[in-house]
Every structure is written in structure tokens, then in C-alpha cells.
Chain A
């Protein structure tokens, strides 16, 4: 069975603070992909990152960074120097290989950045 857990339902930070969003996943497959999507107040789903299970290197993109640890089945997302525009719901998602190409989403973390 596959499952994605985002234990943090809501987080509030003051602008310029760093914040880490947690994602823990469960899968029996050895090959899988992990994703993060952002859902701003306007409602669309914006792709942020895709990582395969064989690549445990951390990734940095501007103020965003991702920490993938297979040993703890976690794929955490850190925003450095948060900004008001970062306020959104962030979803972690899992796709298994082989198997259906559908995404299993976590329940999301609502991030509010206070100016």
C-alpha cells in the first residue's frame, strides 16, 4: 500500500523566517517518484519538484530546498527567507514504478507567511 503523510496541517511564520514542510511516505516499491506541488489561494496546482527514488541528493532552487532521505522515507521541503507570496497549500505526492501513473497526494500543509 502507498501513503503520503503531511503531519503539519497549518504553519504560520513571519516573513523572512525559514520554514520546513515535512513529508513522509510509504511504499513497498523500490522505484518511485516524489513530487511537491504548490496550491496558491487562486487554486491551481503548480509543480515544484520531482525526485526519483535512486537520487538522494538534496536539491536547491533559489529559496527552495528539498531533503530526500530514504532511510526515514522522508522528502522534506524548506523555504528560506519566506515571503508573503509563499503563502499557499503545499502538497507532497508519490508515484510508483511500475504501476499506475497516478499521483498519491498527501493532505497538504497550509503555509501562511505573515508580513
Chain B
């Protein structure tokens, strides 16, 4: 069964460093998303991406964040200058995008630790 994959599973970085989190969505899906979950808290929406551009973004997704689909398979989240409060689990998700409300399938997550 097709699944969303994410790399790395765990990333440790120093405050102020740039990190890139990578995701490979399910191959026939058209909508891609990033969510984050601070330890012990709920999952929060960051950004959605469709047709090579941002579709929606939350207040969390400020100028420090960017997303890109550099090729036909990868979908990346870049944090330019990490802060301590960026420490969280980051989930990538994808959906077919044929209609709103389609089920989003999540990857296993990348745990980001900012020291």
C-alpha cells in the first residue's frame, strides 16, 4: 500500500541553523501539507501546497518557513534560522486533491530538536 515517507526521522540542530525536512508524498496525490506537533500537544496545520504553489498557510508559517517541490517526487519544508520553539514533530501529509475534504494520509514524522 502506498505511503508517505519522511526523512530524516530525527534531526538535531543548533539554534540559528537552517534545516530541510524531506517528504515523498503518495505518487498520485496532488495536495501536500505540513503539520507540526509540539511534544504532548495537538497537531497544528502549517501549510498546504497544490500545483506548485502554496494553497493555504497558518499564522505559524512565517517568513522563516518555506516549502518547495524540487522535483517530481519530493516535497520539502525549510526552516531558515531555527529557534528553540521550533522543536517539534513535523508531519507531512498528502491527499488526492480531487475535492476538498479528501482524506489526508500522514507520514511517520520528523522529530526536530533545536538546541
Please list the residues of chain A having a beta carbon within 8 angstroms of any beta carbon in chain B: 32-33, 35, 37, 42-47, 50, 52, 91, 93, 95, 97-108
Contact = CB atoms under 8 A, between A and B. Distances in A.
B56 to A, nearest CB: 4
Contacts of B33: 101-102
B30 to A, nearest CB: 11
Contacts of B14: none
Tell me if B's interface is mostly helix, strand, loop or mixed.
strand
Contacts of A33: 101
Nearest to B45: A102
Given A101-B55, A102-B58, A106-B42, A44 B108 contact: yes
Contacts of B44: 105
Contacts of B95: 101
B75 interface: no
Interface of B: 31, 33, 35, 41-45, 48, 55-56, 58, 89, 91, 93, 95, 100-109, 111
A93 B109 CA distance: 18
* 9 smallest beta-carbon distances between A and B, as pairs: A102-B45, A33-B101, A45-B106, A100-B56, A105-B43, A44-B108, A107-B42, A105-B42, A97-B100
Contacts, number: 65
Contacts of B89: 43
18 contacts: A33-B101, A37-B106, A42-B108, A43-B109, A44-B107, A45-B43, A47-B104, A95-B100, A100-B56, A101-B31, A101-B55, A102-B33, A102-B58, A103-B35, A103-B43, A104-B45, A105-B42, A108-B42
B52 to A, nearest CB: 16
A41 B44 CA distance: 19
A101 B101 contact: yes
A103 B45 contact: yes
A47 B103 CA distance: 8
Nearest to A110: B40
